[in-house]
């Protein structure tokens, strides 16, 4: 990518209508663009970050046997009536729309109902189970407040997985396997150390807890009590002596923290499968309930969480695993040799599959440095007349000082560190 060809621009000042730090930084750096409150477009750099997060999640869901599919956004009213979730008095954040003939449709806010309804076509024997299916797609929710940038959108990206098991113990296995996959996702995103599996309300139809994945942050809407040694937490909403005892947590070991829910997993028992008539026949020809679980990850919320957590007074600081590019390449001045050497290095990096943004604009060095920092690209590489033709300057986004290297050393360093 060459800056001279990118249509996006960085902004010096914060947009007047944003209060959330994640949105301010992402807009200023040219990663997202606000369409209205709670709805953001992803610009090329932001789209890359989103895609990198999606890819990590996809790999981990595939690794446990998840089968990816893509459901429709438009949903029919009758399946939601079967589970009693159509009524606005029951689910208060629906977006709904109508066909020309007046038939009401739902705009997908989650997909338990349509997925269960669809699986009736494919699941009928014990041989068809167990099963995980998942998708990564936009969800629509008429949230009351949407002032937290990507943390709470009215249109946002979610990974939602659903598990279908024959018995409670088979369900428990799937549930824990998915929980382990979640841990790996958050580790790979660089937030594993501050993300806690947190016991929370399981809903009115189950005695069990649900599990939220909560990332510590002072801007978090949730309050949780954390046991840092056990790496477990409990949501304030269910913080009672009885629940602490059930979880084996001790009051004295817990600290109160604010956190952002980056994902959650729910035991659904057979609430949705029974209601929508999804059953299987066991080895003895007997009709049995299907035990379900659902597993959400806030994909676009994670873009916001990473922007919120990994930033300093100069701008964003992306973890390498999700950064839109690894190198921000800068030529200082337009000296013929410098431009030639920079072009060569740009091509070499690309040939090694290292993603580069080359700031080839005719701009002041200070402007280029400021953009490199604002965009939060892990490595900044500078070529200039002063450095001479054999030397490049490398500075990591998080380091105080730069170092001088030969171009070959630079490539080696980046490929081995990336
Ligand atoms: P919250 O309590 O934050 O509203 P939720 O309980 O409604 O979340 P789910 O419906 O289970 O969450 O959605 C799964 C995941 O999707 C959540 O853990 C969260 O990370 C993310 N998410 C939920 N609502 C939003 C939203 N409005 N904008 C962005 N991400 C969201
Ligand atoms: Mg919600």
Quote the pLDDT of residue 97: 98
Mean pLDDT of the chain, nearest integer: 97
pLDDT, tens digit, 9 for 90 and up, residues 277-311:
999 999 999 999 999 999 999 999 999 999 999 99
Residue closest via CA to ligand 1's atom 3 equals: 261
Number of domains observed in the structure of the chain: 2
pLDDT, tens digit, 9 for 90 and up, residues 345-358:
999 999 999 999 99
3-state secondary structure of 123: coil
Ligand nearest the Cα atom of residue 145: 1
Q: Are residues 271 and 159 in the same domain?
A: yes
Q: Are residues 103 and 215 in the same domain?
A: yes
Residue closest via CA to ligand 1's atom 4 equals: 152
Residue closest via CA to ligand 1's atom 22 equals: 298
pLDDT, tens digit, 9 for 90 and up, residues 158-196:
999 999 999 999 999 999 999 999 999 999 999 999 999
In angstroms, what is the span from residue 24 Cα to ligand 2's centroid?
23
In angstroms, what is the span from residue 298 Cα to ligand 1's centroid?
6
pLDDT, tens digit, 9 for 90 and up, residues 55-99:
999 999 999 999 999 999 999 999 999 999 999 999 999 999 999
Q: Are residues 52 and 163 in the same domain?
A: yes
Mean pLDDT, rounded, for 141-156? 96
Q: Residue 329: is its pLDDT beyond 70?
A: yes
Q: Are residues 128 and 209 in the same domain?
A: yes
Residue closest via CA to ligand 1's atom 2 equals: 261
Neighbouring residues of 397: CB distance < 8 A, sequence distance ≥ 6: 317, 318, 372, 373, 376, 377, 378, 379, 380
Q: Are residues 302 and 337 in the same domain?
A: no
Strand partners, 131: 164
What is the separation, in whole angstroms, between the first and last Cα of the chain? 19
In angstroms, what is the span from residue 394 Cα to ligand 1's centroid?
40
Classify residue 72: in a domain, yes or no. yes
Q: What counts of helices (H) and strands (E) characterise the chain?
A: 11, 23
Q: Which atom of ligand 1 is nearest to the CA of 109?
A: 10
Task: Identify whether the C-beta of residue 414 lies closer than 8 Å to the C-beta of residue 379.
Answer: yes
- In the structure, what pLDDT confidence band is assigned to residue 416 with cuts at 50, 70 and 90? confident
In angstroms, what is the span from residue 158 Cα to ligand 1's centroid?
8
DSSP label of 108: P
In angstroms, what is the span from residue 142 Cα to ligand 1's centroid?
12
Could you tell me which residue, 52 or 15, shows the higher pLDDT?
A: 52
pLDDT, tens digit, 9 for 90 and up, residues 102-114:
999 999 999 999 9
Classify residue 321: in a domain, yes or no. no
CA distance 133 to 45: 29
- In the structure, what pLDDT confidence band is assigned to residue 150 with cuts at 50, 70 and 90? very high
Task: Identify whether the C-beta of residue 258 lies closer than 8 Å to the C-beta of residue 216.
Answer: yes
Q: Residue 360: is its pLDDT beyond 80?
A: yes
> Where does 239-320 show beta strands of DSSP type E?
255-269, 279-281, 287-289, 291-298, 311-312, 315-316
CA distance 10 to 21: 16
Give the CATH number, domain containing residue 408: 3.40.50.800
Domain endpoint, select from 312, 347, 378: 312
Domain endpoint, select from 312, 344, 377: 312
Residue closest via CA to ligand 1's atom 31 equals: 298
Smallest Cα–Cα separation from 262: which of 173, 310, 192? Answer: 192
In angstroms, what is the span from residue 97 Cα to ligand 2's centroid?
20
pTM: 0.97
Ligand nearest the Cα atom of residue 152: 1
Q: Are residues 221 and 336 in the same domain?
A: no
Residue closest via CA to ligand 1's atom 16 equals: 298
In angstroms, what is the span from residue 261 Cα to ligand 2's centroid?
10
Residue closest via CA to ligand 1's atom 13 equals: 296
Percent of the chain topping pLDDT 70 = 100
Residue closest via CA to ligand 1's atom 14 equals: 296
pLDDT, tens digit, 9 for 90 and up, residues 363-414:
999 999 999 999 999 999 999 999 998 899 999 999 999 999 999 999 999 9
Domain endpoint, select from 286, 312, 338: 312
Pocket of ligand 1 (CB under 6 A): 110, 141, 143, 152-153, 156, 158, 261-264, 296, 298, 300-301
């Amino acid at each position: 990518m060459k800056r001279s060809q990118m249509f996006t621009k960085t902004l010096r000042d914060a947009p007047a209508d944003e209060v959330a730090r994640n949105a301010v930084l992402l807009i200023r750096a040219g990663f997202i663009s606000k369409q209205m409150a709670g709805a953001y477009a992803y610009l090329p750099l932001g789209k890359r970050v989103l895609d990198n997060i999606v890819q990590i999640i996809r790999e981990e869901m595939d690794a446990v046997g998840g089968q990816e599919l893509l459901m429709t956004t438009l949903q029919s009213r009758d399946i939601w009536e079967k589970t009693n979730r159509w009524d606005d008095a029951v689910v208060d954040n629906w977006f709904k729309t109508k066909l020309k003939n007046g038939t009401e449709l739902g705009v997908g806010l989650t997909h338990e109902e349509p997925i269960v309804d669809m699986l009736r076509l494919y699941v009928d024997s014990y041989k068809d189970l167990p099963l995980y299916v998942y998708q990564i797609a936009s969800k629509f929710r008429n949230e009351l407040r949407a002032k937290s940038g990507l943390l709470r959108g009215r249109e946002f990206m979610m990974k939602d997985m659903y598990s279908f098991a024959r018995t409670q113990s088979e369900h428990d296995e799937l549930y824990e396997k998915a929980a382990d996959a979640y841990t790996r996702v958050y580790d790979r995103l660089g937030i594993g150390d501050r993300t806690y599996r947190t016991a929370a309300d399981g809903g009115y139809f189950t005695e069990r807890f649900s599990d939220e994945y909560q990332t510590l942050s002072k801007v978090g809407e949730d309050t949780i009590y954390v046991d840092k040694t056990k790496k477990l937490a409990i949501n304030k909403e269910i913080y009672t002596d009885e629940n602490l005892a059930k979880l084996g947590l001790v009051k004295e070991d817990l600290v109160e923290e604010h956190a952002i829910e980056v994902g959650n997993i729910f035991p659904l028992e057979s609430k949705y499968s029974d209601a929508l008539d999804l059953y299987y026949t066991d080895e003895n020809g007997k009709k049995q309930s299907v035990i379900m679980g659902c597993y959400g990850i806030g994909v676009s919320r994670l873009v916001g969480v990473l922007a919120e957590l990994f930033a300093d007074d100069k701008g964003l600081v992306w973890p390498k695993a999700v950064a839109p590019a690894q190198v921000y390449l800068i030529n200082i001045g337009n000296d013929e040799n410098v431009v030639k050497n920079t072009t060569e290095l740009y091509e070499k990096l690309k040939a090694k599959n290292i993603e580069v943004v080359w700031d080839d604009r005719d701009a002041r060095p200070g402007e280029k440095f400021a953009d490199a920092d604002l965009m939060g690209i892990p490595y900044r590489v500078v070529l200039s007349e002063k450095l001479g033709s054999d030397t490049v300057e490398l500075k990591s986004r998080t380091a105080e000082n730069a170092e001088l290297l030969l171009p070959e050393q630079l490539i080696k360093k980046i490929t081995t560190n990336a």
